């Protein structure tokens, strides 16, 4: 894990980010959604790059009025299980802290064990279910919250 870098996304990175998105989700964000996120108030897209400056994953977080929300996170399928998700999620939580969030929320597919474990590892706890929130396939969302003041040193 040497020479791994975190940096903010720019317009020039969107092709790669969009490719990872399409390889990661059955209902991916549109390219326009990423473009909007680049300029949306309180929103940051963070990238994780390898020793050759190739983008291996990204995460998007929005912080408004003391509440953060993880809007998206994905690691290139060929590079999962290597600790990149950990680093990206920490970057999103750091962003929320810098922008004065007290808690961070997110939704995740009920069956998405990898993501749910990642979130729980970093202090998120389930707070509710949104019935049939996702399509393709239809599935409930688990809503999770991380209390930034009491999350320990993960």
Ligand X SMILES: CC(C)(COP(=O)(O)OP(=O)(O)OC[C@H]1O[C@@H](n2cnc3c(N)ncnc32)[C@H](O)[C@@H]1OP(=O)(O)O)[C@@H](O)C(=O)NCCC(=O)NCCS
Sites of contact with ligand X (CB under 6 A): 24, 73-75, 80-86, 108, 112-115, 117-118, 121
Cα distance between residue 47 and residue 67, in whole Å = 22
How many Å is the Cα radius of gyration of the chain? 15
8-state DSSP, 50: -
* Residue (of 23, 11, 16, 95) closest to 49 by Cα position: 16
Q: Which of 79, 107, 120, 139 is catalytic?
A: 107
107 among known catalytic residues: yes
Tokens representing 52?
Answer: 């050759």
Q: Which residue's CB is nearer to ligand X, number 10 or number 113?
A: 113
CB of 17 to ligand X, least distance (A): 12
Measured from the Cβ of residue 127, the count of other Cβ atoms closer than 10 Å reads 11
Q: Which residue's CB is nearer to ligand X, number 26 or number 100?
A: 26
Q: Which residue's CB is nearer to ligand X, number 100 or number 118?
A: 118
Output phi, psi for 107, to 5 deg: -120, 150
CB of 88 to ligand X, least distance (A): 7
Cα distance between residue 115 and residue 57, in whole Å = 14
Q: Which of 18, 84, 119, 134 is catalytic?
A: 119
CB of 130 to ligand X, least distance (A): 13
119 among known catalytic residues: yes
CB of 85 to ligand X, least distance (A): 2
Helix (H) or strand (E) holding 128: strand 124-134
Q: Which residue's CB is nearer to ligand X, number 73 or number 148?
A: 73
Report the catalytic residues: 107, 119
């Amino acid at each position: 894990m040497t020479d791994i870098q975190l940096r903010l996304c720019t317009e020039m990175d969107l092709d790669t980010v969009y490719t990872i998105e399409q390889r990661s989700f059955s209902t991916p964000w549109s390219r326009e959604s990423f473009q909007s996120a680049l300029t949306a108030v309180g929103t940051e897209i963070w990238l994780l790059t390898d020793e050759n400056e190739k983008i291996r994953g990204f995460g998007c977080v929005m912080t408004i009025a003391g509440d953060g929300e993880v809007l998206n996170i994905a690691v290139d399928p060929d590079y999962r299980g290597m600790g990149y998700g950990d680093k990206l999620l920490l970057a999103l939580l750091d962003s929320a802290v810098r922008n004065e969030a007290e808690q961070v929320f997110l939704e995740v597919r009920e069956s998405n064990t990898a993501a749910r474990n990642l979130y729980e590892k970093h202090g998120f706890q389930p707070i509710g279910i949104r019935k049939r929130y996702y399509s393709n396939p239809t599935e409930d969302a688990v809503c999770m919250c991380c209390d930034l003041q009491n999350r320990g040193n993960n």
